[in-house]
Amino acid sequence: MKLPVLLALAALMTAPPASFAAPAGFELDLKELKKPSPTLITPPKRAATPQTTKPQPTAKAPAKKARPAAKTALRAPKIAPAPQQAAEQLVLLDGAKACIRARLLLEAVAKPIPVEDALQGLTLPAIAAGRHQGATVVLACDLPTAEAYTFGRLLEADGVTLINLAADAAAELTVATVAEALGLSYRLLQDNPLSYLTSDQQGRPLRLVIGTSSTSN
């Protein structure tokens, strides 16, 4: 070991204890050490306000495309067929006498009934009887005026109408008298040959032609 280092160590070992004394002005008070040290009061921390986060917009599902409605074939409206008009039935009112024409007309447009049922016990030279839409008629020919009036009143009380025609009555008068007694509607079609249009009790059209057998040919 070198000499200067040894000398330094020897000097330290021989130095007095005063050299390690406390510095001047420093006095340690034991009472001060025994006092409790003041506790530091830390103010309470404020609760952190939660940060409100804006809701993230949810992704919308892609809208489903509406399927086009199935095209329905338009059906043409059914047109009801027009009711077919019944063909006219030809009725020839043949005969030279008015009573014969009247009887043929009565049989064509009305429902024939027995003469005895229509007379209801009366004795009368009637040649035909019929009923049409609630009207009942009895046909007689060439009755005297007084007799026709008396029988007419008696039958009227039972709801029966007496038709009394002269044998030489005109065709127009014959048709008009029978139609009025039955409440039958008719119209004139032509004068030659004399023709009328009417209907029977079923509503079927009737074409009445006044004449003889040679007229229809």
What is the Cα–Cα distance from 4 to 51, expressed in whole angstroms? 74
- pLDDT per residue, tens digit, the chain (217 aa), is 555 555 666 665 655 554 445 455 545 454 554 555 555 555 555 555 555 555 565 655 556 665 655 555 556 556 655 555 667 788 888 867 899 999 999 999 999 999 999 998 899 899 999 999 889 999 999 999 999 999 999 999 999 999 999 988 999 999 999 999 999 899 999 888 889 999 887 888 989 998 755 444 4
**Encoded amino acid at 23, one letter:** P
What phi and psi values does residue 131 have, to the nearest 5 degrees? -135, 135
CA angle 182, 110, 147 (to 5 degrees): 55
What's the confidence (pLDDT) of residue 19? 47
What is the Cα–Cα distance from 146 to 127, expressed in whole angstroms? 19
CA angle 142, 143, 146 (to 5 degrees): 140
The residue to which tokens 């046909």 are assigned: 139
CA angle 113, 128, 136 (to 5 degrees): 55
**Encoded amino acid at 184, one letter:** L
What is the Cα–Cα distance from 104 to 201, expressed in whole angstroms? 15
What is the Cα–Cα distance from 206 to 198, expressed in whole angstroms? 5
Q: Going by C-beta distance under 8 Å and a sequence separation of 6 or more, which residues neighbour residue 128?
A: 102, 103, 106, 107, 112, 115, 138, 139
Q: With left for phi above 0 and alpha for psi between -120 and 50, is residue 133 left, alpha or beta? A: left
What is the Cα–Cα distance from 167 to 178, expressed in whole angstroms? 14
Q: How far is CA 154 from CA 125, 136, 163, in A?
A: 15, 14, 13
Using alpha carbons, select from 186, 204, 203 the residue that is nearest to residue 195: 186
What's the confidence (pLDDT) of residue 126? 92
Q: For residue 145, what are its two tokens?
A: 């005026």
What is the Cα–Cα distance from 49 to 173, expressed in whole angstroms? 121
- Secondary structure element (H or E) that encloses residue 131, with its range: strand 126-132
What's the confidence (pLDDT) of residue 197? 92
